[in-house]
Structures are given as structure tokens and as C-alpha cells.
Structure 1
């Protein structure tokens, strides 16, 4: 996707909630919960390479059944590496899924198979544990395997507010050659709108690891037509530099305590503040040139500052699945296209219940932060 990996976040006008990997959201990093791998379509640039024999849907189903002993599989479906999307004349990403019953309750399990450009930030993000400010989970770990692959095991939930008790556990594997395997399992017979059938998904972390690292999926990843492989980018273009989280922290008003802060990312950052009335998440995206979407995001009613910066504000509900959560946003774009968009919540995380009636920072304070000249010094 996980918007790749599970870790990135985009704000209003960029994307909504967090996106998980596995072809779910285009977000390279943003979407609220894992969708079925069958939704992903590979549309990236061609890379030369010898053609590999196709892996059929029947082959994938056979591997799926072999790798899930000790139970019964029903409602299975799969898509091989030689199948095209019904919507577009292009190859669709292969997957296999079904309902597994080991006698302790039915559980949906899926395996998505894709490729990512090896050695890139996108590849790394797919196996980085997400920040709990944006996605609820019980545990997460990333391990480097002997062959150089990275494996993330995440035990979380289908819904950000943990409603209905539906748990989603996943294993994300990225190999040094760019094979990307996304295994997901639930404690229900379907990912959404199905009753919980067991306390936890059926596969332990060890069994998730065994399923994700099975050679059959790597063979299928190599069989994705070479014309659909993402182009390798060993020398990624130099992007913005600096830390958004650190800069944001330095622009906060007196009287608020920082109780949480994001990592040193040059385009996205956040702080969790508390003014004595409850925790409040404040997050910010700094994007270097967004003139191509200026007309969509900044209409005739946008406020124009003396230096030409356009400003729009939004007051809305936050995550639709969390009652009472409020999000205030100030979106700005400078004449050179630099877009700084900041949002504040009346909760310490996007995925938790409100801790206060309104965000800790007013709209005028958010505008002052977003239009501060310090953002011009990043990148």
C-alpha cells in the first residue's frame, strides 16, 4: 500500500485515514484498514527481464491449501499472474484467499502478491511498524531475515476504534529483489460486516511468518509479467530535507506541553500536545510543489495573504468510525506551489476517543503555524 507501508499519513486534500500496504490505497501509505489484495492493479513502468512461466489461480490455490494444514478451506478464490483486470486491459496483481476453519471458528485469510522497487523508500515503508497515533494495534515487530528480506508482523484491528472486536493480523514481507508478500488474517469469516467467530485469528506469529515466507509466493511474484514490474530506482531523486516534526514543535505556542512527537521526516510530522485540558494530535504535511492541484483545493473563496499565499480552513468530523472526534484543518499554498496543510484533533490520536471538546490549537493558531516562513527553509 500501506500508502505504502503502514506508516505514512496524508491530510485533507491529500488523503484521509491511514493507508496500509498490499495495494490497498495507492497511499503508498494511507487508508484506514486493509482491503482485499485483489483490489490492487499493477500499473508501474516496465523493466526488462526474462519472462517467467505464469502461475495460475489453480497453482496458487494448491499452494494455499498445502500451506494451511490442520483445517478446512472454503469460499476460496484466486487470481493468477496471467490474468488481466476486467476494468482495464492490464495485468492485475495475483492473490489467493479463503475461509479457514481449524475447528475453533471460521477465519478469513488472504495472500496478496506484488512487487515494489527494491532498495527504495517505498520498499522500506512497507515493513515499518506504523505509529500508534494513526493506527490501533496491540503489537508490531520488524525482523531482518537471513536472506536480507524484511518481515513485519502486526497484530491489530480491522476498525480504528476496535469496534465489533474484529482483529486483523498481518505479515508483510519485502525481499531484496522487490518481491512483496502481504498476508492478512481475521478472527471472522470476512474482513468486514461479519460476526467475530473466535477470540483471535488462527495463525500465530510463527505460522504467519511461515506462510509469508513460503517459496511459492516468491515464485508467483517473479512470474508477474516483467512489463508490469516497478522500475528500479537505485538513485532516488533528492527530496526535501529537514524534520517537519521538529519544526512544528518549535512553532507551538507557550503553555502547551509536548507529550508525543513524530520521527524526523522531511514531508510529514506530528506532535501530541496537552494544555492541561487533554491530549490533542497536531499533524502537518509540507509538500514542495502542488500547483497542479491548486485549482481543486483553493477556490475563489480562499483567503489570499499579502505575499500571495492562499488559505482555506475546514472544520469536520475526524474518523467517521469514532464518535465525537473533531478535526480542524488549515490548508495553505504559497505562490511557488509549496503547500503546508496542518490539522488538529480533539484526541491524542486519530484512532482513539476524544479527550477534550475541541483541539488544543485554534484555527488562527494553526494558520499562523502553516504560514510561518520557517517552512520555506525545509528542503
Structure 2
């Protein structure tokens, strides 16, 4: 890779990390879960309002941030490269204790990039540990601004190189948790091989995830992580891949090196105590602009279901906290994924979404319909959409697909709803109730 290319990759990475860490401090309003596709995504990307966004699969901006979890503790950390434990089956750490004070023996600041990397390296089982050519370590000791500790290394246990990352953060323990952060992602939106979410004996939350870097599996890069959140608000996430980098690196082994048990032991290690204890108290970040209060995901889902043609049977459904919901329907000819976004204050992107050929209804509502290819990589997937915006900037956009999961291949010839039916739902007065 050229020096300019490496610098661009580093800048892009740091941008994603900064955005992810900011969301972390604000309470993890994302999983993160999925942004809707096509016209929905394009509209949201262009809006000038600060919106609570959820990302698919990666959904998460970085696996370092992950879903909900907790900070318990276990074995101690060493220095230098991979150390404790045996080969593939070696567990990392064992005991569980409370978050403790600083490490007086460490030469670096507890939350410096060097110290976070040292702890991560010391907790890995025996093997070769190297640091990426482009540094991806970050601590909160930076003079320019406080940043949540993060580090990444390349680990090889003799069966192939693998990227391993860790990120720590702190959030207000008194603030109500985002339930999405404490649970596994919706499998219709973020496919995975296995996932579990549980509450530990001390009240901490742990999520163990085994999935892919790309939900559509356009490459077979796997991403596994353990994510913990303590009652005190400390959060630690360890992520690993079966490649030497999160993205743009060839698969080097069948699976990531650490088992779910090893990931759990690693995030519970007491070696993280000094880093966690040194994190500054979370500061509430004011929104740059007020966010219009819209309908909840539950309301949107109920209203969408109410308007579906009688011939359709709902096989599955899901929602986000606000603005978005989906259903998987079947008319006897195969499953079809249908998603909808209901957004307020979208006048700023009207010119991007509706051209001069857009239909204008008597009440001033603009309507644009499209038939596109699916955007998530499933073979032969079609996406039919109806996008509407009322004069006050109130937007309803609905899309239907000829598959029950956008990440998978088409399972029927066309979507289960016609363009006319999608338009009828999007322009319905039910959304104005």
C-alpha cells in the first residue's frame, strides 16, 4: 500500500473510531442496529440534523464498541507479547473481582495507548504478537483531547494471523441503559452464527457475538466479540477477526483464534482495572440541534402491520427505538422483507430525494417511486420503494424486497408488495394521527 493510501486508511479509521466513541459516551444509542437501505439510507446520510443512527452488523461503526456488556475481572496481565496460558485451549484469566485502583508498577499512564496495548498483549495466550504498520492504538492521555482507550494488535497462535482489538469506555450508571445494547442484534438485520446475552452474578451484562464483518458475507471475514458493561458504568469490548485486519485483508484462518470462553476471560481480567479506574466521569453531550420527536418504532410497526394487504401473512417483525420498523411477509410464494422509515424535519434533503419528475399530490406531498437492485449483496435481490415527503418535511419511505433477508439471495421473483401498494401505505393519513 502507498504512503498516501495508508494515511487515508488511517484517517478513515480514526474518523470511524471518534464517531463510535462519541456514541459510546452518549449512551450507545446505536446498534447499532441497522440503518435502512436504499432511499432511506441516502436520505438519512444527507440530513443536517443529528439523528440517532443504528448500524448493521457492523453494523456497529467499530466492533470495539459492540453491544451491551459488563466489566468484571479475572486473571492478571503481563507485559510484552503474548504470554499467559497455553495454546488454543488456554483460558485467559479466571477470577472475578470489583474494579480496583491504579497499577503502581506500570511505567506508563494507566490509560495511555502504550499501556492499553501492553495489557492486551499480556493477556493473550502464547503466540506471536505484532503491532500493525499503521498504529491503531489510542489512549486518553492525549493532550489535544480526552479519548477512550483503544488498542489493536495482530496475533498469531501458529494457525494464522488475526486482528485483536480492545476498547474501554465509561457511561453514567444512573442513566437508563439502551436495551438494544444489552441484547443480541436482530438476526434479520445482522446475521450471525451464535450470540448470547446474559446478566452476570454481580449485575454486569455480557454479550458474546460470533458473526461476520460484512453482514452480506461478500467476503468471509468473521468478527467475534465479547462486550461487558458493569453496574458502575465501565465498559470493555474485545473483538477479533480471522484476518490480520478488520477490513481489506485476506482471510488467514477458518475462525478467529480466541474461543467465546477465552474472550469472556479476557474482558473480565483484573488487568483492565487501572485503565477503567482512570477513565474520566462521563459528561453529557448536548445535541447540536433539537431532534423532532417522532413516532416510536412500536407505533410504526403497528401502523405498518395494520395497512398490509390481507393476502399477506406476517412471519417476523422488528423495530428500532424510533423512526424504523420492518416486517417479513409471505403471500404463499415466498418471504418478502418490507421496511419503513417515518421521519420528521427532512426538508433539508428534499432536493436530493425528489427531482423535477416527482409526482406532487393535491396536498403538496411529493412522491418518488423506484425499482432498484438490492444494496446488501444478496444475489438477484430487487428493492422496490415509495418515498414521500409532505410540505412540512414529514417523510415516509417504504421498501419491499424479493427475499426475507436482504443479505441473502432472492427467494422469489418480485417483492410481495407492488409499487402501487407501497405508495398507498406511504401516503396514508394514518401516519399523521
Where on the TM-score scale, by shorter chain, does this alignment land: which range?
0.7 to 0.9
1:360 partnered with 2:427: no
Shift of 1:72: 2.0
Q: Indicate the residue corresponding to 1:99 in structure 2.
A: 154
Q: Secondary structure at the match of 1:146?
A: coil
156-165 or 367-376, which moves further after superposition? 156-165
Q: Indicate the residue corresponding to 2:14 in structure 1.
A: none
121-130 or 345-354, which moves further after superposition? 121-130
Alpha-carbon distance change, 36 to 251 in structure 1, aligned in 2, over 3 angstroms = closer
Alpha-carbon distance change, 179 to 363 in structure 1, aligned in 2, over 3 angstroms = farther
CA contact (8 A) 1:116 1:122 kept: no
Q: Which residue, 250, 267, 272 being the options, matches 2:323?
A: 267
252-261 or 178-187, which moves further after superposition? 178-187
Instruction: Give me the CA root mean square deviation.
Output: 3.3
User: In structure 1, how many angstroms separate the alpha carbons of the residues matched to 2:232 and 2:286?
Assistant: 10
User: In structure 2, how many angstroms separate the alpha carbons of the residues matched to 1:223 and 1:246?
Assistant: 46
Q: Indicate the residue corresponding to 1:80 in structure 2.
A: 139
1:29 partnered with 2:78: no
1:347 partnered with 2:403: yes
Alpha-carbon distance change, 250 to 80 in structure 1, aligned in 2, over 3 angstroms = same
Q: Which residue, 335, 351, 354 being the options, matches 2:391?
A: 335
Q: Which string of whole-angstrom CA distances, capped at 9 and with x for unpartnered residues, describes residues 34-62 of structure 1?
A: 5656899xxxxxxxxxxx96621111111
User: In structure 2, how many angstroms separate the alpha carbons of the residues matched to 1:297 and 1:90?
Assistant: 37
User: In structure 2, how many angstroms separate the alpha carbons of the residues matched to 1:68 and 1:150?
Assistant: 22
Q: Which residue, 133, 138, 151 being the options, matches 2:193?
A: 138
1:161-176 maps to which residues of 2 (within 5 A)?
A: 161-176=216-231
User: In structure 2, how many angstroms separate the alpha carbons of the residues matched to 1:238 and 1:27?
Assistant: 12
| TM-score (ref. length: structure 2) | 0.71
User: In structure 2, how many angstroms separate the alpha carbons of the residues matched to 1:136 and 1:187?
Assistant: 17
107-116 or 292-301, which moves further after superposition? 292-301
Shift of 1:348: 0.4
Q: Indicate the residue corresponding to 1:10 in structure 2.
A: 36
Q: Secondary structure at the match of 2:182?
A: coil
Q: Which string of whole-angstrom CA distances, capped at 9 and with x for unpartnered residues, describes residues 159-200 of structure 1?
A: 223344321111222334443333211122222333333322
Aligned residues: 350
Q: Secondary structure at the match of 1:181?
A: strand
Question: Larger relative CO (CA 8 A, sep 6+): 1 or 2?
Answer: 2
CA contact (8 A) 2:381 2:410 kept: yes
Alpha-carbon distance change, 202 to 31 in structure 1, aligned in 2, over 3 angstroms = same
Q: Which residue, 259, 263, 272 being the options, matches 1:208?
A: 263
CA contact (8 A) 2:38 2:375 kept: no
User: In structure 1, how many angstroms separate the alpha carbons of the residues matched to 2:402 and 2:235?
Assistant: 37
CA contact (8 A) 2:319 2:325 kept: yes
Q: Secondary structure at the match of 1:262?
A: strand
User: In structure 2, how many angstroms separate the alpha carbons of the residues matched to 1:224 and 1:320?
Assistant: 38
Unaligned runs of 5+ in 2: 1-19, 21-27, 43-50, 67-101, 103-108
Shift of 1:347: 1.0
Q: Indicate the residue corresponding to 1:70 in structure 2.
A: 126
User: In structure 2, how many angstroms separate the alpha carbons of the residues matched to 1:168 and 1:79?
Assistant: 21
CA contact (8 A) 1:136 1:160 kept: yes
Q: Which residue, 355, 359, 363 being the options, matches 1:303?
A: 359
1:281 partnered with 2:307: no
57-66 or 290-299, which moves further after superposition? 290-299
User: In structure 2, how many angstroms separate the alpha carbons of the residues matched to 1:135 and 1:11?
Assistant: 13
Q: Which string of whole-angstrom CA distances, capped at 9 and with x for unpartnered residues, describes residues 220-264 of structure 1?
A: 3564555x744499xx99763443222211111122222212258
Shift of 1:93: 3.9
User: In structure 1, how many angstroms separate the alpha carbons of the residues matched to 2:420 and 2:125?
Assistant: 59
Q: Which has the larger radius of gyration?
A: 2
Q: Secondary structure at the match of 1:306?
A: coil
Unaligned runs of 5+ in 1: 17-25, 41-51
| TM-score (ref. length: structure 1) | 0.80
